[in-house]
Amino acid sequence: MKITDLMYDLGVEDRLFTQGPLAVATPIDGSEIARVAPDDDAEIDAKIRFAEKAFQSWRKVPAPRRGELVRLLGEELRAHKNALGRLVTIECGKILSEGLGEVQEMIDICDFAVGLSRQLYGLTIASERPGHHMRESWQPLGPVGVISAFNFPVAVWSWNAALALVCGDTLVWKPSEKTPLTALAVQSLLERAAQKFGDAPEGLMSVVIGGREAGERIADDKNIALVSATGSTRMGRDVGPRVARRFGRVLLELGGNNAGIVAPSADPDLALRAVCFSAAGTAGQRCTSLRRLFVHDSIYDDFVPRLKAAYQSLPVGDPLKEGTLVGPLIDKDALERMQDALARAKEQSAAVAGGERLEGEGCYVRPAIAELSDHEGVVNEETFAPILYVMRYENLEDAIALQNSVTQGLSSCIFTRDVLEAETFLSATGSDCGIANVNIGPSGAEIGGAFGGEKETGGGRESGSDAWKAYMRRQTQTVNYSTALPLAQGVKFDI
Ligand code: NAD
């Protein structure tokens, strides 16, 4: 597969993707499409120093002017949406409309951040002391290290970068070693935007190519004020303590084991479509993919056979081809993990439909449905593949308890037209996840809301709402505009 024209269109110099010891393969057919050179320790350190230096000047640029850079980045993304979306599909295997959708998400967060650049609001606070006023201000934080996963190779970066840039921070980005090309392309688009902007400091943002060790080096560097890491819970378990040891700040976006409940009053057609998209779409390789489904006993025998039939007809194949809805798994390891999970489900007496490998050079599989009588064993784990575990339930409280019983807490949903059930699901005793939806699946979030999850999902929030506060330093300020010095709480200290 030739990607040279795409990379040229995106402005990437060919020495960056034609040389080096690290082979980049496309999951479409497993073939090598590029070679890149990983950064060594000295190069990583230099990029971090560069980001630190750039921060010294970037933090002084007024926030609305910083927003102008993000606006220009959004323009570059609009102009190159097709090329970048296609590259996303080639590099990580999601279908083209999702590749394009990922770039659209980048454009959306840029628009959001441009507005935000004039709304980094603080507070004024009433002081108990006469002649004093207090306020809370938000200041730029410092260089931000972004570590990202293969499955959203560019959108996750943009959620972080668009906010960090308007907040006055600089960036060092280590993308997944499986998707370095899209990162190089985005770096090139940001450089073009910076040129048009005029006076952006050099080193404002750089890309570090490498694997786990490169990520560890960023996590350990005390000049990285915030490490925003997206990936598996295993990775977060390592990164979290590393950053904590040096009292750095961390934002973790880790694994999910997302559930859905199909209640008796659900619109069955709507629920069916939503379940298919969120469980089988992106070949089950979204952090928010639907992995567990609780179907009410009274509708189970109608709904589940229909679901299985719909699964059989899902078009699986080349993600660049129109009409394909399910692309390949990222690599052979992912395929092995899927087969292993299905074997374990069968040992637990699951009735499995689908899951077999399909013909073709890449790792193509028929999405699987595994019906289980108990919520035990393999169902408690996140297997990053299209496996949907389906179970019966009789009362909503039990279904919610089982939904919440896993260690992860990212996304969740209920299909119901009963307002009491819907509101119970969204109440303090309902879903314990960071995201809870009614009558839509758990995946496919918009950028306007804060994105992230609880428990072993890491607790971080990115993207919309007030997630920007993670990228800034909060400062409480007190000004005495009188000539007296009254102390708080009536304390006396007269000399
Ligand atoms: P991964 O954990 O293997 O790798 C993610 C990134 O972390 C890569 O860049 C990798 O090089 C780096 N890394 C791995 N170990 C590291 C370490 N010890 N120190 C520093 N960096 C390290 O994940 P993946 O296979 O690329 O992605 C799939 C996982 O990501 C799934 O678990 C999925 O749920 C999760 N994910 C979560 C979100 C979210 O927002 N919650 C979004 C996308 C993906």
The reply to whether ligand 1 has any atom less than 6 angstroms from the CB of 173 is no
> For residue 422, which amino acid is it?
A
Please check whether residues 333 and 226 belong to one and the same domain: no
The reply to whether ligand 1 has any atom less than 6 angstroms from the CB of 388 is no
Q: Identify whether 490 is part of a domain.
A: no
Please check whether residues 205 and 292 belong to one and the same domain: no
Share of the chain above pLDDT 90, in %: 99
Task: State the catalytic residues.
Answer: 253
Which atom of ligand 1 has the smallest separation from the CA of 177? 11
- Count how many domains the chain has: 2
Q: Identify whether 486 is part of a domain.
A: no
The band of 397, judged by pLDDT with boundaries at 50, 70 and 90, is very high
pLDDT at 1: 55
Please check whether residues 63 and 207 belong to one and the same domain: yes
* Residues written for the chain: 495
pLDDT at 426: 98
Q: With 0.95 as the threshold, say if the pTM is over it.
A: yes
Name the residue of 44, 213, 286, 287 to mutate for ligand 1: max ligand atoms within 8 A of Cβ.
287
The reply to whether ligand 1 has any atom less than 6 angstroms from the CB of 450 is no
Which atom of ligand 1 has the smallest separation from the CA of 453? 41
The reply to whether ligand 1 has any atom less than 6 angstroms from the CB of 454 is no
Contact 72, 196 (CB under 8 A): yes
Share of the chain above pLDDT 70, in %: 100
pLDDT at 375: 96
The C-alpha R_g of the chain, in whole angstroms, comes to: 24
Please check whether residues 24 and 37 belong to one and the same domain: yes
Average pLDDT for 150-168: 98
- CA nearest to 289, candidates 73, 112, 435: 435
Q: What are the CA-CA distances from residue 364 to residues 24, 181, 316, 357 (Å)?
A: 19, 22, 7, 6
Longest distance between any two alpha carbons in the chain, whole Å: 87
Please check whether residues 131 and 273 belong to one and the same domain: no
Task: Give CA 326 to chain center in angstroms.
Answer: 20
CA of 234 to the centre of ligand 1 (A): 8
The reply to whether ligand 1 has any atom less than 6 angstroms from the CB of 168 is no
Residues sharing a CB contact under 8 Å with residue 300, sequence separation 6 or more, in sequence order: 392
Q: Identify whether 212 is part of a domain.
A: yes
- For 444-462, give the secondary structure using H, E and C: CCCCCCEECCEECCCCCCE
Give the span between the Cα atoms of 286 and 279, in whole angstroms: 9
Which atom of ligand 1 has the smallest separation from the CA of 231? 30
Please check whether residues 422 and 410 belong to one and the same domain: yes
Which H or E run contains 158? helix 155-167
- For 460-483, give the secondary structure using H, E and C: CCEECCCHHHHHEEEEEEEEECCC
Name the residue of 39, 102, 151 to mutate for ligand 1: max ligand atoms within 8 A of Cβ.
151
Contact 421, 263 (CB under 8 A): yes
Give the span between the Cα atoms of 463 and 192, in whole angstroms: 23
Beta bridge partners of 140: 472
The reply to whether ligand 1 has any atom less than 6 angstroms from the CB of 150 is yes
CA of 224 to the centre of ligand 1 (A): 19
Q: What tokens were used for 198?
A: 């005029």
- CA nearest to 204, candidates 180, 169, 154: 169
> For residue 1, which amino acid is it?
M
Contact 173, 183 (CB under 8 A): yes
> For residue 32, which amino acid is it?
E
Q: Identify whether 314 is part of a domain.
A: yes
Q: Identify whether 453 is part of a domain.
A: no
DSSP class per residue in 186-253? HHHHHHHHHHHHS-PPTTSEEE---SHHHHHHHHH-TT-SEEEEES-HHHHHHHHHHHHHTT-EEEEE
User: Average pLDDT of the chain?
Assistant: 97
The reply to whether ligand 1 has any atom less than 6 angstroms from the CB of 221 is no
Q: Count Cα neighbours of 312 within 13 Å in the Cβ-side half-sphere.
A: 8
**CATH label of the domain that carries residue 126:** 3.40.605.10
Residue nearest to atom 26 of ligand 1 (CA): 149
Please check whether residues 287 and 391 belong to one and the same domain: yes
**CATH label of the domain that carries residue 327:** 3.40.309.10
CA of 147 to the centre of ligand 1 (A): 8
Q: What share of the chain is helix, strand, coil (3-state, %, to 5)?
A: 40, 20, 40
Q: Identify whether 272 is part of a domain.
A: yes
The reply to whether ligand 1 has any atom less than 6 angstroms from the CB of 463 is no
Please check whether residues 43 and 127 belong to one and the same domain: yes
The band of 357, judged by pLDDT with boundaries at 50, 70 and 90, is very high
- CA nearest to 3, candidates 281, 320, 229, 301: 320
Please check whether residues 335 and 241 belong to one and the same domain: no
The reply to whether ligand 1 has any atom less than 6 angstroms from the CB of 62 is no
CA of 480 to the centre of ligand 1 (A): 48
Helix axes 96-116, 155-167, angle to 10 degrees: 10
Give the span between the Cα atoms of 180 and 91, in whole angstroms: 9
The SS3 of residue 165 is helix
Task: Give CA 32 to chain center in angstroms.
Answer: 26
The reply to whether ligand 1 has any atom less than 6 angstroms from the CB of 89 is no
Please check whether residues 243 and 265 belong to one and the same domain: no
Residue nearest to atom 43 of ligand 1 (CA): 287
Domain of residue 114 covers: 3-254+458-477
Give the number of other Cβ atoms within 10 Å of residue 429's Cβ.
Answer: 11
CA of 148 to the centre of ligand 1 (A): 6
Give the span between the Cα atoms of 71 and 69, in whole angstroms: 5
For the stretch 413-460, pLDDT in tens is: 999 999 999 999 999 999 999 999 999 999 999 999 999 999 999 999
Please check whether residues 240 and 276 belong to one and the same domain: no
Q: Identify whether 445 is part of a domain.
A: no
CA of 173 to the centre of ligand 1 (A): 13
CA of 233 to the centre of ligand 1 (A): 8
pLDDT at 360: 85
The SS3 of residue 290 is strand
Please check whether residues 244 and 266 belong to one and the same domain: no
> For residue 477, which amino acid is it?
Q
Torsion angles phi and psi, residue 356, rounded to 5: -80, 155
Q: Identify whether 74 is part of a domain.
A: yes
For the stretch 205-248, pLDDT in tens is: 999 999 999 999 999 999 999 999 999 999 999 999 999 999 99
Name the residue of 39, 232, 282 to mutate for ligand 1: max ligand atoms within 8 A of Cβ.
232
Residue nearest to atom 35 of ligand 1 (CA): 231
The reply to whether ligand 1 has any atom less than 6 angstroms from the CB of 289 is no
Judged against a pLDDT cut of 60, whether residue 138 lies above it is answered with yes
